[in-house]
């Protein structure tokens, strides 16, 4: 059964008519119970639900949903024709829900282990959507920073993600890579190889990112490679 068919199953299993204000509680408990016996599918559904719900809340926080943001959303969600209504239903319920985004982020964080790498994947995806209209606006950046904090991410981890998405070719390459400027050439090389390995699509899929979302990894790798190349040229090492 496909991810999107399982998402439809999830929506069907939610208690009652998905009353506003209780939706996030219902969806978190339903993901845990319905997919408890299938850890891989549970991780994929949890990631998909998190992305859909938090991007819907980001659209509400920003006040405007542009055509570019909708297109960016669709780039992340390669949705079969017959499954679009399930994603749209979840997105619309989350956007209309009277519960604030902080309640959503806090509840959704309970689907993952504390400090899990998947948090960065989610924030990466949200940045991808936020910057689709050409800029990450002030309200969007504040939203993303708060979500990251509620996920338990450090400010340094959030700054690395921000640097990758906001004019990465002009940003501090050491910040983008997350490596100390005083690190030796060999330390920079080892760090670069380690984070590139962690960003490989197979690693993302293993921790719950569905294959449909590999655009996140592709963009992240491009930013990391660009930062490493700039450091390599500055230091003149092979």
DSSP string, 128-146: HHHGGGSS--HHHHHHHHH
With contact defined as beta carbons under 8 Å apart, do 76 and 51 qualify? yes
Is the predicted pLDDT of residue 64 greater than 70, yes or no?
A: no
pLDDT at 80 over 50: yes
73: closest CA among 59, 83, 63? 59
* pLDDT the model gives residue 33: 81
3-state secondary structure 92-115: HHHHHCCCCHHHHHHHHHCCCCCC
Q: Which of 16-20, 32-36, 45-49, 87-91 has the lowest mean pLDDT?
A: 16-20
- Read off the DSSP letter of residue 154: -
pLDDT digits (tens, 9 = 90+) for 33-47: 877 788 888 888 888
7: pLDDT strictly greater than 60: yes
For the residues 91-101, what does the mean pLDDT come to? 81
> Percent of the chain having pLDDT more than 90?
26
Q: What integer best gives the mean pLDDT of the chain?
A: 82
Residue with tokens 């990450």: 136
Which pLDDT score, from 0 to 100, does residue 218 have? 82
Q: What is the pLDDT of residues 135-190, one digit of tens each?
A: 888 899 999 999 999 999 999 999 999 998 887 677 899 999 999 999 999 999 99
The upper half-sphere exposure of residue 190, i.e. CA atoms within 13 Å in the direction of its Cβ, equals 6
Q: What is the pLDDT of residues 212-230, one digit of tens each?
A: 677 777 888 888 999 999 9
- Supply the pLDDT for residue 117: 80
Instruction: Give the model's pLDDT for residue 15.
Output: 56
Q: In 111-124, which positions are buried (b, 16+ CB within 10 angstroms) versus exposed (e)?
A: bbeeebebbbbbbb
CA–CA–CA angle 153, 138, 110 (5° rounding): 30
Check: CB of residue 176 under 8 Å from CB of residue 134: no
pLDDT at 72 > cutoff 60: yes
Between 169 and 121, the higher pLDDT residue: 121
> What pLDDT is recorded for position 142?
94
- Judge whether 144 and 151 are in contact, CB under 8 Å: no
- What is the per-residue pLDDT for 20? 47
Q: Please give the model's pTM, rounded to 2 decimal places.
A: 0.82
Distance CA 164, CA 170 (A): 10
The token duo for 192 is: 């670069």
Contact 55, 130 (CB under 8 A): no
Average pLDDT on 58-63 reads 78
For residue 171, give the 3-state DSSP assignment: coil
Q: Which residue has the higher pLDDT, 146 or 26?
A: 146
């Amino acid at each position: 059964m496909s991810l999107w068919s399982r998402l439809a199953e999830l929506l069907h299993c939610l208690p009652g008519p998905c009353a506003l204000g209780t939706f996030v509680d219902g969806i978190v408990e339903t993901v845990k119970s319905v997919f408890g016996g299938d850890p891989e599918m549970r991780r994929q559904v949890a990631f998909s639900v998190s992305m859909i719900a938090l991007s819907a809340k980001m659209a509400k926080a920003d006040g405007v949903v542009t055509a570019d943001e909708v297109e960016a959303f669709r780039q992340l969600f390669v949705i079969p024709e017959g499954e679009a209504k399930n994603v749209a239903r979840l997105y619309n319920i989350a956007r209309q829900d009277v519960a604030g985004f902080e309640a959503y982020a806090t509840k959704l964080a309970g689907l993952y282990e504390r400090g899990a790498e998947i948090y960065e994947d989610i924030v990466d995806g949200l940045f991808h959507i936020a910057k689709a209209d050409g800029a990450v606006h002030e309200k969007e950046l504040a939203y993303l920073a708060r979500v990251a904090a509620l996920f338990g991410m450090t400010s340094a981890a959030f700054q690395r993600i921000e640097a990758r998405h906001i004019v990465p070719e002009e940003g501090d390459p050491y910040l983008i890579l997350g490596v100390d400027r005083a690190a030796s050439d060999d330390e920079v090389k080892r760090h670069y190889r380690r984070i590139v390995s962690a960003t490989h699509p197979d690693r993302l899929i293993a921790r719950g990112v569905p294959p449909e979302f590999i655009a996140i990894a592709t963009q992240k790798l491009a930013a990391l490679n660009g930062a490493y190349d700039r450091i390599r040229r500055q230091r003149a090492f092979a």
